[in-house]
Amino acid sequence: MADQHRQAAVVEFDHVTKRYDAPTGRDKGKPTPGAVNDLSMKVPAGKICILVGPSGCGKTTTMKMINRIIEPTSGTIRLQGEDVTGSPPDELRRRIGYVIQQVGLFPHLTIADNVATVPRLLRWDGSRTRARVDEMLDLVGMDPSIYRGRYPKELSGGQRQRVGVARALAADPPVMLMDEPFGAVDPIAREKLQNEFLRLQEDIGKTIVFVTHDIDEAIKMGDRIAVLRTGGKLAQYASPAELLMYPADEFVEDFVGADRALKRLALQRVRDIDLWTAATVRSGEPVAEARRKIAEADIDIPLVVDDHGRPQGWLSERGLAGERVRPELRSRAEPLVELDDVLRDALADLIESEVHYSPVVDPDGCLAGVLSLEVISQSLHVPPERARTSTELVEPAGDDAVSAEIEPA
Ligand SMILES: Nc1ncnc2c1ncn2[C@@H]1O[C@H](COP(=O)(O)OP(=O)(O)OP(=O)(O)O)[C@@H](O)[C@H]1O
Ligand SMILES: [Mg+2]
């Protein structure tokens, strides 16, 4: 099963333009502006590509040309290297899952029948289809024994969205098109669906073309983001970090928003950046040894740790007065930041606790480094190709020397 889920395909737009037919009525005969204008971009296999831009900029049109609901006026779209016009639309649509804008479940069909739509088209036998339906409902977190026989109107908005995803995945297509899949639910349900979907994508690894109006959703969900401007022109195609660091022009800059530095922090986790080091000392250890460690660390105040390496607090000067370290603290090790925290939340913790830096712990609670305002600020200046984000693994930032001259609060 897992192998089956792992198939994905490259989707490639090559100078694709779409003009709708000339208008009728008063404007009859006037040339129409392009809905999509000379679009070229490549969506790598197994990645999420977000199409984002203002209403009417051609997102849905772009998406519908992939599965030939709409035919381009000119240019070529290739799926795993093959021109999509080489495949009959029916056959193509079985290889491409589609979650349409506003979910679009069939209201008169049960949830099971909705999910079974494409397997039935493919004439799978009954038992295989039933097994697949249950598997898909499980996959999107809906107990088949409860929901299989229900009708769409008996579900919440978020549940309907999940069924829409289950239906699109049912025939295990290598490509999924999702048109504002989470657009119709409240912000809290939306965030939950987004997180679930990202987790799901780690398992299924599909090539996903995903439309949204919402730049925050784009930044969170996308491996790559295509920003379209009115008239269907591609303004920028880049990774989220690149988009936030180097918007191509004023339009993208405005679209991304004035708070792009903060958005960038929401993309990075504490484990992705170079932390400061602190000396760790234990109660009773020789002061000479402690002083040697302190000299090597980025911060000149040592952290007292327990026998498991868990930070207790920052040692006071008096703790180093004798032969052996006495666990006299100047302050407790607070807040404790975790490696998996996103930088934006960690920054909020530092600000709230009114400290310049604080210890970072690994999942076992052991010291992993020290996060400081300086380290966070530096991470904003790392060029995007060197910045690590949750979706891209690139070499971490270099070994720029950091000096620690500030005192803990
Ligand atoms: N069938 C059609 N005939 C003529 N013009 C169309 C047709 N469908 C879409 N358009 C026009 O093409 C442009 C792009 O439409 P499209 O639906 O792709 O936009 P969109 O980016 O998906 O917008 P939204 O965010 O509102 O869903 C719009 O100006 C729209 O009015
Ligand atoms: Mg649309």
Ligand 1 contact, 24 CB (< 6 A) = no
Q: Which residues surround ligand 2, an ion (CB under 5 A)?
A: 60
Ligand 1 contact, 58 CB (< 6 A) = yes
Check whether 324 has a pLDDT greater than 90.
Answer: yes
User: pLDDT: is 145 or 5 the higher one?
Assistant: 145
- Residue ranges of the chain that CATH labels 3.40.50.300: 2-258
Q: Which of 36-45, 75-84, 369-378, 380-389 has the lowest mean pLDDT?
A: 380-389
pLDDT of the residue at 382:
57
Question: At 398, is the secondary structure helix, strand, or coil?
Answer: coil
Region 203-225 average pLDDT: 91
Specify whether the CB–CB gap between 350 and 356 falls below 8 A.
yes
Q: How far is the centre of ligand 1, averaged over its atoms, from the C-alpha of 61 (Å)?
A: 6
Alpha helices in 205-312 (DSSP H): 215-221, 240-245, 250-256, 260-267, 287-296
- Residue ranges of the chain that CATH labels 3.10.580.10: 270-379
* Cα angle: 170, vertex 175, 178; to 5 degrees: 80
Check whether 206 has a pLDDT greater than 60.
Answer: yes
CA torsion, ordered 178, 179, 185, 186, to nearest 10 deg: 100
* CA distances (Å), origin 113, targets 151, 221, 313, 326, 396: 9, 29, 59, 70, 48
pLDDT of the residue at 81:
92
* Rounded Cα gap, residues 80 and 151, in angstroms: 36
> Which residues have a Cβ under 8 Å from the Cβ of 406 and sit 6 or more positions away?
356, 357, 372
Residue located via tokens 């998996």: 340
Ligand 1 contact, 54 CB (< 6 A) = no
Classify domain 270-379 by CATH number. Answer: 3.10.580.10
> Which residues have a Cβ under 8 Å from the Cβ of 84 and sit 6 or more positions away?
66, 67, 68, 77, 78, 92
111-141 pLDDT, tens per residue? 999 999 888 888 899 999 999 999 999 888 8
Q: Which of 67-81, 187-201, 205-219, 243-257 has the lowest mean pLDDT?
A: 187-201
CA torsion, ordered 333, 338, 344, 348, to nearest 10 deg: -30
* Rounded Cα gap, residues 103 and 157, in angstroms: 9
- Ligand 1 atom at minimal distance to the Cα of residue 101: 27
Specify whether the CB–CB gap between 75 and 251 falls below 8 A.
no
Q: Kindly state the helix (H) or strand (E) to which residue 35 belongs, with its residue range.
A: none
The whole-chain average pLDDT of the chain stands at 85
Q: Whose CA is nearest to atom 3 of ligand 1?
A: 20
pLDDT of the residue at 380:
75
Q: How far is the centre of ligand 1, averaged over its atoms, from the C-alpha of 13 (Å)?
A: 18
Report DSSP state, residue 258: T
Which of 18, 20, 30, 63 maximizes ligand 1 atoms within 8 Å of its Cβ, making it the mutation to test the pocket? 20
* Rounded Cα gap, residues 397 and 399, in angstroms: 7
Question: At 193, is the secondary structure helix, strand, or coil?
Answer: helix
pLDDT of the residue at 102:
67
147-169 pLDDT, tens per residue? 999 999 999 888 888 898 889 88
Q: How confident is the model at residue 383 (pLDDT cuts 50, 70, 90)?
A: low
* Rounded Cα gap, residues 361 and 364, in angstroms: 7
Instruction: Kindly state the percentage of the chain with pLDDT values over 70.
Output: 89
Ligand 1 contact, 63 CB (< 6 A) = no
Region 352-357 average pLDDT: 89
Q: Encoding tokens for residue 382? A: 């790392």
Q: Which of 208-212, 272-276, 370-374, 392-396 has the lowest mean pLDDT?
A: 392-396
Ligand with smallest separation from the Cα of 100: 2
Neighbours of 366 (CB within 10 A): 15
Ligand 1 contact, 60 CB (< 6 A) = yes
27-70 pLDDT, tens per residue? 776 667 789 999 999 999 999 999 999 888 999 999 999 999 99
Q: Which of 62-76, 180-194, 240-254 has the lowest mean pLDDT?
A: 180-194
Specify whether the CB–CB gap between 304 and 281 falls below 8 A.
yes
pLDDT of the residue at 6:
53
Ligand 1 contact, 20 CB (< 6 A) = yes
* Rounded Cα gap, residues 11 and 76, in angstroms: 11
Region 311-335 average pLDDT: 91
- Ligand 1 atom at minimal distance to the Cα of residue 213: 25
* Cα angle: 104, vertex 79, 121; to 5 degrees: 45
Check whether 405 has a pLDDT greater than 60.
Answer: no
Which of 19, 24, 57, 180 maximizes ligand 1 atoms within 8 Å of its Cβ, making it the mutation to test the pocket? 57
Point out which residues pair with 238 in neighbouring strands.
225
pLDDT of the residue at 402:
29
73-118 pLDDT, tens per residue? 999 999 999 999 998 998 888 889 888 766 678 999 999 999 998 8
Domain range 2-258, CATH class: alpha beta
